[in-house]
Structures are given as C-alpha cells and as structure tokens.
A and B are shown apart, each in its own frame.
Chain A
Amino acid sequence: MKSLYPLHPYLRRHRWSIAAGILFVMAANVMSPVVPVIVGEAVNLAEHQHIGSGGLLDFATLAICVSGISACFLFLMRRVLIDASREVEYEFRNDFFAKLQRLDPTFFDSNNTGDLMSRATNDMDALRMLIGPAVMYSANTLMSLPMRLIWMFALDWKLTAVSIIPLLALPPLVRHLGARTHTLSRFQQDSFGDLTTVVQENLAGIRVVKAYRQEGHEERKFLDRNDDYITKSLDLARVQAIFFPIIRFVVGTGYAVLLTYGGIQVINNQLEIGTLLSFFILFSMLVWPLVAAGWVVNLIQRGIASLDRINAIMVWKPAVVDAPAFSSGAPKSLDIEFRDLTFKYDGTTTPQLANINLTVPEGRTLGIIGPVGSGKSTLIHLLGRLYPVERGMVWVGGRDINDWPINELRMFVSFVFQETFLFSDTIEWNIRFGATAEAPEEKILDAARRAQVAGDIEQFPNKYKTVLGERGVNLSGGQKQRVSIARAIARDARILVLDDSLSAVDTHTEEAILRNLRDVMKGRTTFLISHRISTVSLADEIIVLQEGRITQRGTHEQLVAAPGLYQELYRRQQTEAEIEQLDTPVVGGAPA
C-alpha cells in the first residue's frame, strides 16, 4: 500500500523487534490448534471405551501444558510488538514536532493551530492504533489462520474444504466495507478538525466573545460543527454497524455446513464423533482471527487516513531552506545590505517592498518609520529569513542571505516582535529563553533591569520563579513587551531588532528603556521600528517607508529639516509629546 510508505523507515528501525514478535506469533499459533485435537482424540478414545480416567487426566494435563506454552508466547508477542509500536509512535511524534520546528511563517500563516493540533492528537491516536494493534492482530491473523487450517485439512480435507466455502465471501466483503470506512472516516476526521478549530478560536478570543456578547453566536457556530460531526460519524457508524454482524453471520453459515456435512459423515461412519468435536473447536478458533481481520481493516483504513493528514505536514516543503552547499563560519563584519530589494508575499500581486537600497554597517543603528502596512516589519522579517527572498537582494556580512545557514544567521540576530509571545513557564525561563542555557543568573537579572521590568518582577511573591499563564495573561501588555525585550537583551546577539516593541509601554518607561538600550546598542547593529519619532531619533540613520518604498532617508536632524512625512510626524508628535508625558509619574527618577 503506497500510503503506508511513510512508516517504512520507522518499521525498519524496529525490524528486529518486529521479526522477534512475528516469531513469537508463529510459535504461539503452532501450539494453540493442538489443544482441540487433543480434546477430540480423548473423546474418540472414550467413545470406544479405550481409555480410563488416568488416561483422560493425562490428556487434560497435556492440553493445559500446550496451552500454557502458547500463552507464554502470546505474552512475549504483545510485549515485543506493542512496545515496538509505542516506540514508533514516540519517534513519530518527535519527528512531527521537529518538522513543525523547521517550518517557516508561511506555513503557520496558512495552517491554523486547531487543525494542526487535531492532527497532532486525533490523527496521532489513529496512527498509533495502526502501528500497534493493527500490526499485531494482522500478524496474528496471518499466522493463526494457516496453522488452524493445516490441522483441519490434516484431520479431514473434504470436510474442511466444504465448510470454509462460506468464509470465502469474507475477503470481497471486507474490502468493500473497508473502502467505505476509509472515505467516511476521513470525512469524520476533517469534521472533527473543524470542530476543534471553532473551540480553539473561541477560547483564544474569549475576551472579544464576552465583550461583544457573542456567546450565543459562538454556541450556534459550535452546534453547527457538532451537527456536521454527528452526521459524518453516523455515516461511518452505519457502515461499521454492519461489519461485525456480517462476519458473524458468514461464520454461522459455515457452522451449519460443517454440522450437516460432518454429521452425515459421522452417520456414514466416515468420521469419528470426537474428530467432529475437534472440528467444531478449530472452526470456532477461525472466528476471532477473521473478526480481527475485519477490525484490523478498520484500524488500517483509519490509520491510513490519519497518516495521510500527518504526512501532508511531514512532506511540506519549507519555503526557506539552507542552500545545499552553504558557506559556514562567521564573517568578520556583519554589514547588512539590501540591494534593489523587491518582495511579494505568496498569493498577492502588489509588492510589499520595492527597490529598497540600503546599507547598515555593523554597529550602526537604523530607524524605520512609516505608516501601517508600509512594509516595515516585512523588511526585518526578511533579514531573519522568515520568508524566502530572491538571490542577490539581501546581504549580510558580504554574503547573500540565501547562502547563510538559517540557524547560524539567527544566532546573530535578536528579535523583539510586534506581537509578544511568552511561554507558560517561569519569568526567569522566559528571559533565559533568549540566552544560552548556561547564562549566569546575573545576566538574566541585568537584562530584566535594563528592560525596566525588574521592578515589576520583584513585586511578585515568587519573583523570577513566577509562572505565567499560557499567553502570559497575568502580565499587562507593557510588562509582556518588557519581558520580551529582556529576553532579547539576554540573548546578547550582534544584531538587535526591535519591531515596534515599546508600543504598550508608557513614554517615561520607554525613555528609560531607550536610555538603557544605548549601552546595549553600543557596537551592535540595531534596527528600531517605531511610530514614535522619539524612538527612531536615536538611530544613526533613519528611513521613511511608504507603500513599500523608501521615500526619505537621513539623520534625525536632516529629516526634521527637510519637508516630508518625517517632518510632519515630528511636528505633530512634538506638540503631542507635551501631553504624552503627562501620564508619567515623577517617582523613579524622571529625566531632568
């Protein structure tokens, strides 16, 4: 089966366990059909009065011993095979996670969290059933059916041949129902993904839901998804409800044939009654492997459907990849150059950035200012290789950015994104996240101090060990931004990028942070994106972006003197600044 192919490397890694497991399956199945034969033989002897109670005891003991040995192998089979399947599941999960880690923003922009989580949970469950029970029961079925049939043929081949005729109906039946199950279970899983998305979105946006009293609307959305899920589930249930009953019925018909034909042979003295008894037991032993076969088909179908969905992610080509023969080793300087840069997001027609020509020598600070949607964030995202960019357009340290190994490049850059993200872990851990794991405590504390968040942290009872809520909700927006800045400072990278990261911070705190940053920025290339003149004015050079183009550039003094957007903004903010600072408390040493 082609769609099982992605599992191949995993199964290969565990081939010895699987081989051993199959060996145990074989051993167990060689033993188990012997028990009914022993029983039948004992009955035959008793029927002819050829055996005493001592002999019967021997037969009973023998049967129990054989079954005991078979049971030992069954135990080993489960341990070895299922354990291996858990290992495969574990490896698969790890690989899935590692894959997500390698995917770029383009991917996360087009796949929402709810859907990804549905793949990581439900599909992963279905996959586990595929590599665990499904593998074990198929092995068991494949081994037990021939073993049991061999014994039956050996006892009476004609009787066996006649009684298994009804069972021949099973393979086409199972195939047909299996195909239906496959399609329907895919619909069901997709529907469940939608359901999860609605829930995820509702929870993430609960403030909006509550503020705008959308609870009723959300409930209806949720109910719609539920109804869809029920419809899809019941379509599947309708097919599944027929699965086991039909197998049972087919087997029952086989019994009837066995009874009639075998009975006639006994009546004609062609078969002994004890042997007929053995047949009954052996025939009943065919039922479970066949039923399991049906079940396994279900599991496999469902597992394949899920494997498809997971594999769609596993084979997703990241838009940004390391060049095959990348150059390694740190260059002496980290001068940054944009040469005639033009950039479009996938699926859009108008370029987000056009004809950007810019050089930022190492250690210098560039200020970027411009209206919403003018491409400010895009520009610095390209610098971190978050989105793919054509060759020859972005250069770092005299090397085309496409020739930089992604990890190496990012090692030199410290980002503070516009939208802050903190982990639901301790504050210390969140700050340390930017630094190396070995960074001493002092470095963390120092970073917090410089980001003006140390005072806030000290007020928490657990101080730096305070655990944050999932999205850092117990911190205010400004506090979150300052923790992110502390994280970036602790990172201690040669390039620092602050993307409008002081927006939720009041001007006084901003002032203090910028003052502290001046030290940090010394000898470091810094990009300051802001709407505030006061922030960008610190830069050695400032560019004004409008609709993806640089419309003005120069130092603060030059730009203030020249007519244009910058001057306009400056004048407006100058007058506003008088009031802006009003919400600043005098305590804490305001600048004189």
Chain B
Amino acid sequence: MSKAAEIREQRYERFREEDREALVKKGDFSQMRRLLRYLRPRRRQVATAIALSLVIAILTPAPMVIVKFAIDNFIQHHKIDGLVFSAIALIVSQLIIFFLDRRSQYLIAEIGQFTMRDLRLEVFNHIQSQSLRFFDRNPVGRLITRITSDVNVLNEMFAQGVVGIFQQIFSLFVILCVLLWFNWQLTLWVMLVLPVIAIASWNFRNNVFVSYRLTRVRLSRLNTFMQENITGMRTVQANGRESSQFETFDHLNASHRDAHIQTVFQYALFFPIVEVVTTVGMGIVLYKGGMHYVSAGAAAAVTVGQLALFIQALEKFFQPIKDLSEKYNVVQSAIAASERLFALLDSKPNLIDPPKPQEVKPFGNSIQFKDVWFAYNPGEWVLRGVSFTVQKGQTIAVVGPTGSGKTTLMSLLCRFYDIQKGEILVDGIDIREMRISDLRSKIAIVMQDVFLFFGTVVENIRLGNCEITDERVQHVAQQTGFADFVERFPKRYDTGVRERGATLSTGQKQLLSFTRALAFDPEILILDEATANIDTESEERLQQAVATLCAGRTSIVIAHRLSTIQNADRIIVIHHGHLIEEGTHEELLARDGMYRKLYELQYKEGLAV
C-alpha cells in the first residue's frame, strides 16, 4: 500500500469506528418521558391541541357515515330530499373540520416553536457554562449541530409527533368502533390482515432506525469537516491541498449518501406492501360482504352503503398505521437527537459554583498559589507544585519558555479549569469556594488569540457591559493608543468588525483587546503574551498605557519585554511546570541561579551581535 493510501485508510478507519459506536447504542424510550417534560410549561396549549384532535378524530368518519346513510336510506329508497339534506350535512361537517384543523395545526406549530426555544436556550446555556476542558474536546461544528439541527429534529416530533400520534390512535379507534357498530362480523374478517401490517411495520421501523442513525452520525461528521475547512481554507489553498481535502469530503459525502439510500430502500419496500395489504382487505370485504348479499338477497345483512363505508374506511383505517410507522421514525430520530442532547445536558459542568459560595469583598489582600498541580490530560502534568503569592497592587512578571505552563497558570486563576492538587486563594478564600462570576468580575485577561465578535469596534470594547459609556471607551482607547487607529477608520468607533477581522490587523486587534481590558477596569489584570504580536512602535505607546493600567492594580504579566520585567515587583521563572526561581530582578541577579546565568549568557551574546 502506498503511503498516501495507508494514511487515508487510517483516517477512514477512525470514521468507521465512530459509525460502529453509534450503531451499538439502542434507542431508549425512557428518553421520551424526559422529552415530554419540556411540554409542561405549555400544558394548557397541549391540552387544547389534544382536545381539538379528539374532536377532529371523532369527526373524521362523519363524511363516510353520512355517505352510508345517504346510499342505504335515501338513494336506495328514492328520497331526493334526504339526499340533498345529507349533502348539506357533508359540507357542514367538512367546514367544521376545516376550522378545527387549521386551529390545531397552528397551535401545534406554536407549541413546537416555543418548546424548541426553551430547549435551545437550555442547551446553549449549558454549553456556555462548561469549562474550557469541554471545549477542548468538542469541535465547534458538533456543538452547533446540537443547538440547531438536533433541536429542529425534536421540533418535528413535538409538532407532528406527540399530538399527531394521539390523533392517529384515536381516529383509528373511532373508525374501528364505527365499523364494529355497523357490521361486527365483517369487521373481524377484515382484521385478519392486521398481523401482516404489524409485522411489516415492525421490520420497517427496526431497519429504518439503524440506517437513520447512521445517516445522522455521518451527516454530523460531514458538517464538522466542512466547517473546519471553511475556517482553515486559506491554509488548505496555500498548501495546494484542495484535491486531497476534497477526496476526504467526497468519502464522507458518499458514505452519508449510502446510509441515506439504505433508508430509502426501507421506505420503498414498506409503502407498496401497505398498499397491497389494503387491497387484500378490500378483497375480503368484497368477497365476504358480497357473499352475504348474494346468498340472502334483499334481506342481506350487508347493504351497499355498508360496503361503501367499509371500502372507504379501509383506506382511512390503514392510513393511521402507515402514518404511525412514519411517525415512529420521526420519534426515533427525535430520540436519537434527544439522546445526544441529553448526553450533553447530563455532562455535569465540572466547574460549578459551590453550594454555599463565600461572600466576596473587593480584592484587598493577595493572590496565593499553594502547591498547585495541574494536567490537561491525566498524568501529563503541566504544573507541578507551583506556589507563589501576589500582594495587592503588585505586578508580577512570569517568564519561562513556551509550553512551560505560563498560559495555564493564567487560565487557572480565572478558573477556566480546576486544579488537581493544591489550592489557589484570593484574599485567603479558595477560588472554588467562590461564585465563578464573582471571581471573574475581579479579573480582566488579555489573551494570545484575540477574538472579535461580529459588530462594531465600540461593541467589541464594551461587549455587553452597558455601564461602559462611549466616553469611557474613547477615553480608554486614548490611553492604549488604539484611538489613533480608530480615528483613521471610516466610521470611527462604529466601524464594523468582521469575524476573521479583515478590517483590523493583528496588532490593531491586540490593541483593541487591551482597550477592552482597560475599559472593564479590573482589580486584577492578566496579560498573556499579548505584547508578542505588537510591533515596537505600537508597543511603546502600549507600554505607557499598561504602566498606568498596572499602577495600583494587581497584575500578572507573561512578559517578554524589558520594560515590563523592570517595572515588575517580582519575577517568577517557570520551567517544565516547576517554579524554579522567584524574586526581584536584582535579587535574582544577586542569587547565583538560573536567572543570573541566563542574564550573563545573554549579555555576552548581545555584545557579539
């Protein structure tokens, strides 16, 4: 096998593994009860909808019964008056059904939409409340599918399923009663075909379930792949890998199609079977009913009207069974979707507010890391027993090579992740004992990757915080030097910012992110290598702003720059997850440690250049 084929095969095997996992799982009807709980806030509308469908179900056989009476009592007895009267009754009954039907359909749509909103919101908030560990593991594309497509599948079930099934079962029951009432022997004969229908339906729904689930899994994978390629299209194009990416897409697309075609086969087989069985039922009515008629003459137990009724009822009788199988499919896919949704909702946020959170006062004393151990993946320690203290008003510079754990340190202070051992204390309170929002309200963080929301410059600075006035935004932008750039934008602070930030350069985005942090006026400021992408010119402007920002403010800075380190009250050196040195610049130099060695080494190098 060629190298390329081998690698391709490895990827495809991963996909197949996912397929197998998805199929092993069986649909669990206990989900239904939980799903139905979402209807509770709208139980009054649901009750109305059910009542409406009951009335509609009762009225459904009315036209058939009217026709039966018209044939037996009026046509056969040559009564034109009665005939006209029954025609009018027929129209009236249809008119009533029309109004009820319209009302019930709109009501059902309404119930579905509002229920979906509740569910969507719950899923959205649940996802939002997850720790970053969760986002590290779940691709954005998959999460979007949960909130959008999966919820929409459930909508179908709420909209047609619940009320629809109720209506179908009830109308089946009403029609059966009507038939038994008019001719119970013939009814029982016709019921002979029921087992056939039952077996066919059973097989159908089992097979469809498998192929349907496969379809969903593969579609989700297809969409995730698509999403990722859109985001990274420039990388694909620059590397000229369009064709190999296309090849993978084609593979995913084809496997999705094949699963779909499998579903179609089941439908193609099932519907004609129902059709034939209906005709067999009709044949039984004709033979059994007609035989009575032939042998007994005028005193026949079976009238022409009855024959008409039975033949028409048969259609109506099998329609619900046919629909039910389809509804079953809707319900099944809803169950599959709900399993995914509930699995998501049940994934307990591993980061939660404590049951009895400590009341938090304005930051007054210190931040303490006490023997902090942390690993993103079990066993792979990123931080190993790090301890240090930051006093209020101090600026701490964190230095260390990339991958040494500096960024992690910052994420931990924001409680994006929980630590495995040790404790992080703010004013002596373990941050796990505080409300997460209380903790984060003290902190502003400037991250390596700047993220901008769709909207304007000013919206991106103040985010949702309406307390930050336009004046404050402008004032703060002056301080960071971002204002100089903004003045050059066509609409100044109202200039639109796009997702991939084409309007702003990376440096400008960094400046915006600084401005944002400053606007929030935090008690604790975290700068995470944020100066790295800024050129020296802007940085100089920024350094001054940062100096004013840090003054009187507790700051932890992952710094690469001289000015920051010099201004820092203390420097901590992190290496391989260990805190190896700590002190002021002078102290560290005085101590004959790593910091000094590094300094001397660099000094010599500096001369050599």
Report Cα–Cα, A57/B231, bound state, in Å. Answer: 68
Report Cα–Cα, A245/B534, bound state, in Å. Answer: 65
Interface stretch (choices A64-72, A168-176, A328-336, A518-526): A64-72
Interface stretch (choices A145-153, A277-285, A295-303): A277-285
- With beta carbons under 8 angstroms apart, the residue of A117, A277, A438 that contacts B307 is A277
Which residues from A are CB-within-8-Å of B282? 35, 39, 60, 63
Q: Is the CB of A248 within 8 A of B244?
A: no
Q: Mask for A209-244, Cβ within 8 A of B = 1, else 0?
A: 111111111111111001100100110011011101
Q: Is the CB of B606 within 8 A of A93?
A: no
Report Cα–Cα, A424/B135, bound state, in Å. Answer: 13
| 30 cross-chain CB contacts under 8 A | A68-B276, A68-B279, A71-B273, A78-B264, A86-B257, A93-B222, A97-B226, A118-B148, A199-B124, A201-B454, A210-B132, A211-B440, A215-B125, A237-B106, A259-B70, A264-B80, A372-B506, A373-B505, A407-B240, A437-B7, A470-B139, A477-B449, A478-B403, A500-B533, A504-B402, A577-B606, A579-B566, A582-B571, A583-B401, A586-B597
Which residues from B are CB-within-8-Å of A274? 304
Q: Given contacts A222-B124, A473-B135, A477-B407, could you give 9 more A-B pairs where the C-beta distance is less than 8 Å?
A: A113-B499, A116-B230, A197-B454, A267-B78, A373-B507, A407-B242, A421-B231, A478-B402, A500-B533
Q: Which residue of A lies closest to B254 (CB)?
A: A90
| Cβ of B581 to closest chain A Cβ, rounded Å | 10
Q: Is the CB of A479 within 8 A of B402?
A: yes
Q: Does A391 have its Cβ within 8 Å of any Cβ on chain B?
A: no
Which residues from A are CB-within-8-Å of B451? 204-205, 207-208
Q: Given A39-B282, A505-B402, A506-B560, are A223 and B121 neighbors across the interface (CB < 8 Å)?
A: yes
- With beta carbons under 8 angstroms apart, the residue of B253, B264, B287, B447 that contacts A208 is B447
Q: Is the CB of A49 within 8 A of B226?
A: no
- With beta carbons under 8 angstroms apart, the residue of B78, B275, B535, B560 that contacts A580 is B560
| Cβ of A143 to closest chain B Cβ, rounded Å | 16
Q: Does B520 have its Cβ within 8 Å of any Cβ on chain A?
A: yes
- With beta carbons under 8 angstroms apart, the residue of A53, A373, A581 that contacts B508 is A373
Q: Is the CB of B407 within 8 A of A263?
A: no
Closest 10 CB pairs of A and B: A217-B464, A372-B507, A478-B402, A252-B94, A437-B4, A583-B399, A237-B109, A71-B272, A60-B283, A581-B602
Q: Is the CB of B308 within 8 A of A234?
A: no
Give the residues from 118 to 162 in chain B that come closer than 8 angstroms, CB to CB, to chain A: 120-121, 124-125, 127-129, 132, 135-141, 143-145, 147-149
Q: Does A476 have its Cβ within 8 Å of any Cβ on chain B?
A: yes
Report Cα–Cα, A195/B222, bound state, in Å. Answer: 21
Report Cα–Cα, A274/B75, bound state, in Å. Answer: 12
Q: Is the CB of A75 within 8 A of B502?
A: no
Q: Does B391 have its Cβ within 8 Å of any Cβ on chain A?
A: no
Residue from A39, A46, A218 whose CB has the most chain B CB atoms within 10 Å: A46
Q: Is the CB of A438 within 8 A of B4?
A: yes
| Cβ of B112 to closest chain A Cβ, rounded Å | 9
Which residues from A are CB-within-8-Å of B136? 469, 473-474
- With beta carbons under 8 angstroms apart, the residue of A86, A210, A531 that contacts B535 is A531
Q: Which residue of B lies closest to A409 (CB)?
A: B240
Q: Which residue of A lies closest to B130 (CB)?
A: A206
Give the residues from 430 to 457 in chain B that come closer than 8 angstroms, CB to CB, to chain A: 437, 440-441, 443-445, 447-449, 451-454
Which residues from B are CB-within-8-Å of A211? 414, 440, 443-445, 447
- With beta carbons under 8 angstroms apart, the residue of B88, B105, B284 that contacts A241 is B105
Which residues from A are CB-within-8-Å of B93? 252
Q: Given A372-B538, A386-B234, A470-B228, are A255 and B63 neighbors across the interface (CB < 8 Å)?
A: yes
Interface stretch (choices A1-9, A154-162, A394-402, A425-433): A425-433
Which residues from B are CB-within-8-Å of A355? none
Q: Is the CB of A42 within 8 A of B290?
A: yes
Report Cα–Cα, A248/B250, bound state, in Å. Answer: 44
B interface, over-half SS: helix
- With beta carbons under 8 angstroms apart, the residue of B143, B463, B536 that contacts A203 is B143
- With beta carbons under 8 angstroms apart, the residue of A100, A220, A246 that contacts B98 is A246
Q: Is the CB of B4 within 8 A of A207?
A: no
Q: Is the CB of A46 within 8 A of B293?
A: yes
Q: Which residue of B lies closest to A468 (CB)?
A: B136
Interface stretch (choices A12-20, A101-109, A304-312): A101-109
Give the residues from 544 to 568 in chain A that come closer than 8 angstroms, CB to CB, to chain B: 565
Residue from A93, A121, A249 whose CB has the most chain B CB atoms within 10 Å: A121
Q: Is the CB of A101 within 8 A of B464?
A: no
Q: Given A67-B275, A437-B3, are A52 and B599 neighbors across the interface (CB < 8 Å)?
A: no
Q: Given A64-B280, A94-B249, are A255 and B275 neighbors across the interface (CB < 8 Å)?
A: no
Q: Given A407-B240, A429-B7, are A470 and B140 neighbors across the interface (CB < 8 Å)?
A: yes
Q: Does B181 have its Cβ within 8 Å of any Cβ on chain A?
A: no
Q: Is the CB of B407 within 8 A of A572?
A: no
Which residues from B are CB-within-8-Å of A103? 233
Give the residues from 571 to 596 in chain B that come closer than 8 angstroms, CB to CB, to chain A: 571, 573, 575, 594-595
Q: Is the CB of A280 within 8 A of B312?
A: yes
Q: Mask for B258-297, Cβ within 8 A of A = 1, else 0?
A: 0011001101110111011011101110110011011101
Q: Does B547 have its Cβ within 8 Å of any Cβ on chain A?
A: no
Q: Does A192 have its Cβ within 8 Å of any Cβ on chain B?
A: yes
| Cβ of A339 to closest chain B Cβ, rounded Å | 24
Q: Is the CB of B253 within 8 A of A90?
A: yes
Interface stretch (choices A177-185, A359-367, A412-420): A412-420
Residue from B83, B403, B437 whose CB has the most chain A CB atoms within 10 Å: B403
Q: Does B232 have its Cβ within 8 Å of any Cβ on chain A?
A: yes
Report Cα–Cα, A260/B85, bound state, in Å. Answer: 9
Q: Does A584 have its Cβ within 8 Å of any Cβ on chain B?
A: yes
Report Cα–Cα, A204/B598, bound state, in Å. Answer: 39
Q: Which residue of B lies closest to A274 (CB)?
A: B304
Q: Given A208-B451, A241-B105, A504-B448, are A213 and B441 neighbors across the interface (CB < 8 Å)?
A: yes
Which residues from A are CB-within-8-Å of B2? 438
Q: Is the CB of A226 within 8 A of B121?
A: yes
Report Cα–Cα, A195/B147, bound state, in Å. Answer: 10
Q: Is the CB of B105 within 8 A of A240?
A: yes
Q: Does B183 have its Cβ within 8 Å of any Cβ on chain A?
A: no
Q: Given A64-B276, A71-B275, A410-B238, are A56 and B287 neighbors across the interface (CB < 8 Å)?
A: yes
Q: Does B185 have its Cβ within 8 Å of any Cβ on chain A?
A: no
Q: Is the CB of A576 within 8 A of B561?
A: yes
Q: Does A509 have its Cβ within 8 Å of any Cβ on chain B?
A: yes
Which residues from B are CB-within-8-Å of A458? none
Q: Is the CB of B565 within 8 A of A418?
A: no
Q: Which residue of B lies closest to A217 (CB)?
A: B464
Report Cα–Cα, A437/B308, bound state, in Å. Answer: 71
Q: Is the CB of A101 within 8 A of B237?
A: yes
Q: Does A487 have its Cβ within 8 Å of any Cβ on chain B?
A: yes
Which residues from B are CB-within-8-Å of A82? 261, 264, 267-268
| Cβ of B450 to closest chain A Cβ, rounded Å | 8
| Cβ of A29 to closest chain B Cβ, rounded Å | 12
Q: Mask for A303-328, Cβ within 8 A of B = 1, else 0?
A: 00000000000000000000000000
Give the residues from 353 to 397 in chain A that come closer than 8 angstroms, CB to CB, to chain B: 370-373, 377, 384, 386
Q: Is the CB of A487 within 8 A of B239?
A: yes
| Cβ of A531 to closest chain B Cβ, rounded Å | 4
Q: Is the CB of B402 within 8 A of A509?
A: yes
- With beta carbons under 8 angstroms apart, the residue of A39, A195, A217, A218 that contacts B148 is A195
Which residues from A are CB-within-8-Å of B533? 418, 500, 503, 531
| Cβ of B349 to closest chain A Cβ, rounded Å | 12
Q: Does A516 have its Cβ within 8 Å of any Cβ on chain B?
A: no
Which residues from A are CB-within-8-Å of B244? 437
Q: Is the CB of A245 within 8 A of B105?
A: yes
Q: Is the CB of B129 within 8 A of A219?
A: no
Report Cα–Cα, A61/B463, bound state, in Å. Answer: 75
Residue from B86, B87, B235, B599 whose CB has the most chain A CB atoms within 10 Å: B235
Q: Which residue of A lies closest to B571 (CB)?
A: A582
Q: Is the CB of A256 within 8 A of B140?
A: no
| Cβ of B590 to closest chain A Cβ, rounded Å | 14
| Cβ of A468 to closest chain B Cβ, rounded Å | 10
